Amino acid sequence: MTAPDSASAAPQLTVAVIGNPNTGKSTLFTALTGVHSRIGNYPGVTVEKKTGRFTLEGRSVQLVDLPGTYSLSPRSLDEMVSVEVLLGQQRDVGKIDAVVCIADASNLERNLYVVSQVLDLGLPTVLVLNMWDVAEHRGIVINVGELRSRLSIPVIPCEAHRRRHIEDVKQAIVSVVSQPPPAAPRVFPPEFYDEGLKLQSRLAEWGETNVPFYVAERLLLDVGGQFEATFSARHTEKLPAALTEARERLKVIGLKVPAAEAKARYAWARQVLNGAITLPPERTANHSDGLDRWLTHKVWGLAAFIAIMFAVFQAISTFSAPLMNLCEALQQGVGSQIGSLLPPGPFRSLIVDGVIAGVGGILVFLPQICFLFLFIALLEDCGYMARAAFLMDKLMVKVGLSGKSFVPLMSSFACAIPGIMATRTIENRRDRMVTILVAPLMSCSARAPVYALMIAAFFPSVAWAGGWITLHGVMMFVMTFFGAAVAIPVAWLFKKTLFKGETPPFVMELPSYKWPSPRIVAHRVYDRARAFVLRAGSLIFATSILVWAASYFPGDHTLEQQTSVQIEQVESKLADDPSLQAERDELVVRRNALSEQLLETSFLGRFGKGIEPAVRPLGWDWRIGVGVLASFPAREVIVATLGTIYSLGGDVDESDSGLQQALQNSKWPDGRPVYSIPVALSIMVFFALCAQCASTLMVIRRETNSWGWSLFTFVYMTTLAYLAALIVYQAGTAIGG
């Protein structure tokens, strides 16, 4: 992949990849570039910028993956990015040397719509006919040679998911740049092109030199489009009038804007395909129809949805348990190993209590996160997610939203950040705002460690149905959907008050069912796991150290350390002289009392005691209160913070320092256990509803262009969380006695 470029002095090529959604574009991108892709954002908008590279015959090629789109007629700033990239106006990317257009071979006519727009750009273009096998299977016969000569561009059949003909695509990309770009197809009557040139020269008169012809074309065709908005803002008086006149003249010759474009481009597509493609006779109902009807049935479909979700969470809970235990054992092993190498003192405490108990405590949940992303990726890739969105449209309409909001909300179950970013597929602004505001209520993967910890520590492990259903799995399921259930009335309320408006139109493609591609799924799980580990290594690491420092200082730890040294000395002789056991136990008790006292008089302890009255009604002690406060930047910090607090507090025997046991053993000063089922529930409910994620609030501010909405989200979610936790704890203790 990183072959030295010195072999040739040829400069790097920049190639854009574009195509309809659901054509296997990301699969092709991954197949071309391997795992070496970089994901970022274009400045100022929320479009994901994905780049990767490959080298062929000494030529280094940078690929830019553009968002899947049905057309190149930008209606928003986000859609504008793709056009800007292709026109070489996106400074982040620079000049584009070639375009790879990916089309679904089994649906060529529609896919040629965007191809015809790409050809209007006058760039060297390669057309990839992906899903060739699907087309063959359907009985579609495509004469590739004929298409090649009609379009005068390279046309490459490809099966990206099986990695077939990937080399052909690479080869075509590298060779197409040295050929002259194809002539743009003249899909409109000549008068249209004259109008375009006229507009171009008018713009030049107004100082807009070098406006590409494609932009003039878009200005004429897109009524109320993004180009019209951008240019009208600069030429408020002249442009709208000029456009109205030009469109009037086009209407006279029978070109009615905007309807004319679809007519002209589809006519062109039919002409290109006529004779070059043989379609099978139109099919009557098939098995996929039946499946679709069943999965979207108002009773059976819903039952299937709930069953699938339940199975997923049961599986996550079952599969990840042994792996998590392994990780936990590893973490404790590393902790005691390092602990024994370092002399007692602040440094050892920082490493063992701060870093290992803190960051390590959160890394233990990595298997769980991986399984969650695995299942979400599987459901998305096999085509089920779109059916679920369809099913949910009926429910969404009741709260005033559409099924379009379902996909962003569903991906918020993994993480609210990509979920909120995915709301840009919602055209209606009011709907988009409501979806953004409730997305953080969906149970993201960062909540999973909190639930897992509380459930494992405080709910008995009961199993039914021969071990297929466990109480832990059921609780995981219930907690995960609790936030979503609360989101329903919240969304309804927002739609009734802040964002009144009619229900938006709903049209969505349902991708065909297919076996998930292991590579795509593995790639997505890897990306997400990596992000989780990086976050643990940065934000959570920093918070852990702060929490450690606040709970270690300002006390004088000399006596505690001396006791620790004594314990270790006694322990080393213990094997030879079992009678020392009593002395050792006594020393441990003394050390733990010292640690406890030091923790309570530390900065953190004093602060915690100060806020205890505020959290007492929720059933929390000061440690939980502090843990919750420390986790406002990122909710999973609670696990790290509790890890550090309990590790420092010396509540636990070092040989048995699991956080679960520490929680189970934790007591109020009067000896009652701190944690009970109502307390665990109150903590989980609080975490389910609270806005404890700085990154989400930042994304909301970026997407809504106002800190106001971030603040609003923070206030409404935190209030909701406090009230719900209060109700759950008070009701729980009243019922439980």
Partner 1 sequence: MQLVPLEMMTIGEHGCVRDVDGSPDFVVRLQEMGLHEGARVRMVKTGSPCILAVNEHRFSLRFDDRATVLVELTR
Nearest to 450, CA basis, from 479, 478, 474:
479
* Among 194, 289, 577, 585, interactor with partner 1 by CB under 8 A: 289
Indicate the pairing of strand 469-470 with strand 463-464.
Answer: antiparallel
Does the footprint of partner 1 cover residue 274 (CB under 8 A)?
no
Residues β-bridged to residue 15: 63, 98
Q: How far is the CB of 265 from partner 1 (least distance, A)?
A: 9
- Given the DSSP bridges, would you call strands 277-278 and 469-470 parallel, antiparallel or unpaired? unpaired
Closest contact distance (angstroms) between CB of 322 and partner 1 is: 40
Of 259, 575, 582, 735, the one binding partner 1 (CB under 8 A) is 259
Candidates 49-57, 510-518, 619-627, 630-638; binding stretch for partner 1 (CB under 8 A): 510-518
Q: Of the candidates 505, 578, 671, 736, which one interacts with partner 1 according to CB under 8 A?
A: 505
For residues 68 and 643, which CB has a smaller minimum distance to partner 1 in the complex?
68
What's the CA gap between 327 and 361, in Å, rounded?
9
The reply on whether position 281 binds partner 1 by CB under 8 A is no
Query: Cβ closer to partner 1: 259 or 575?
Result: 259
Among 26, 130, 296, 682, binds partner 1 (CB under 8 A): 296
**Span of 282-290, 570-578, 694-702, 711-719 interacting with partner 1 by CB under 8 A:** 282-290
Q: Which is nearer to partner 1, 154 or 185 (CB)?
A: 185
* Contact status, residue 639 vs residue 659, Cβ threshold 8 Å: yes
Minimum CB–partner distance for residue 276 and partner 1 (Å): 16
Q: Please give the sequence-ordered ranges of beta strands (E in DSSP) within 229-310, or none if there are none.
A: 277-278
- Selected from 193, 266, 305, 709, the binder of partner 1 by CB under 8 A is 266
Residues 375 to 414: which contact partner 1 by CB under 8 A?
386, 389-390, 393-394, 397, 402-403
For partner 1, the closer of residues 9 and 285 by Cβ is 285
Return the sign of the alpha-carbon dihedral for residues 23, 308, 449, 730: positive
Interface with partner 1 in residues 93-122 (CB under 8 A): 106-107, 109-110, 113-114
Binding residue for partner 1 (CB under 8 A) from 292, 568, 583, 612?
292
Instruction: Determine the Cα angle at 273 with ends 267 and 274, to 5°.
Output: 85
Q: Shortest CA distance to 594 belongs to which of 586, 603, 582? A: 586
Q: How far is the CB of 678 from partner 1 (least distance, A)?
A: 42
Whose Cβ is closer to partner 1: residue 30's or residue 107's? 107
Contact with partner 1 (CB under 8 A) among 137, 270, 429, 496: 270
**Minimum CB–partner distance for residue 463 and partner 1 (Å):** 39
The whole-angstrom separation of Cα 409 and Cα 423 is 8
Task: Find the part of the chain contacting partner 1 (CB under 8 A) among 77-85, 148-156, 278-286, 332-340.
Answer: 278-286
Q: Please identify which residue in 4, 180, 283, 579 interacts with partner 1, judged by CB under 8 A.
A: 283
Specify the DSSP element, H or E, that contains 17.
strand 13-19
Site string for partner 1, 122-161 (x = CB under 8 A): ----------------x-----------------------
Nearer to partner 1, 292 or 568 (CB): 292
- 43 within 8 A of 28, measured Cβ to Cβ: no
| DSSP codes joined into one string, 161-173 | GGTBSHHHHHHHH
CB of 476 to partner 1, least distance (A): 31
When asked if residue 509 is in the footprint of partner 1 (CB under 8 A), the reply is: yes
How many beta carbons lie within 10 A of that of residue 688, not counting itself?
Answer: 27
Considering CB under 8 A, how many residues would be counted as binding partner 1?
46
Q: Are 282 and 125 in contact (CB under 8 A)?
A: no
3-state secondary structure of 130: strand
Q: Which of 241, 262, 614, 698 binds partner 1 (CB under 8 A)?
A: 262
Cβ-proximal residues to 711 (8 Å cutoff; 6+ apart), any chain: none
Verify binding: residue 575, partner 1, rule CB under 8 A: no
Binders of partner 1 among residues 419 to 438 (CB under 8 A) are 427
Q: Give the separation between CA 407 and CA 390, rounded to whole angstroms.
A: 10
With CB under 8 A as the contact rule, which of the stretches 69-77, 430-438, 637-645, 693-701 interacts with partner 1?
A: 69-77
Shortest reach from residue 609's CB to partner 1, in Å? 56
Instruction: Give me the DSSP letters along 39-61.
Output: EEE-TTS--EEEEEEEEETTEEE
Q: Provide the 10 A C-beta neighbour count for residue 418.
A: 16
If one asks whether residue 248 binds partner 1 (CB under 8 A), the answer comes out as no
Which residue has tokens 């007519």? 263
Length of the chain counted residue by residue: 737
Phi/psi for 64 (5° steps) reads: -115, 120
CB 92 within 8 A of CB 86: no
CA distance 564 to 557: 10
Supply the minimum distance, in Å, between the C-beta of residue 637 and partner 1. 40
DSSP 194-228: HHHHHHHHHHHHTT-TT--HHHHHHHHH-TT-HHH
Least gap, CB of 517 to partner 1 (angstroms): 19
Residue 734: exposure state from Cβ atoms within 10 A (0-12, 13-18, ≥19): exposed
Measured from the CB atom, is 146 or 292 closer to partner 1?
Answer: 292
Q: Does 261 bind partner 1 (CB under 8 A)?
A: yes
**Where along the sequence are the contacts to partner 1 (CB under 8 A)?**
70-71, 73, 75, 106-107, 109-110, 113-114, 138, 223-224, 258-259, 261-263, 266, 270, 282-285, 288-289, 292-293, 296, 386, 389-390, 393-394, 397, 402-403, 427, 505-512
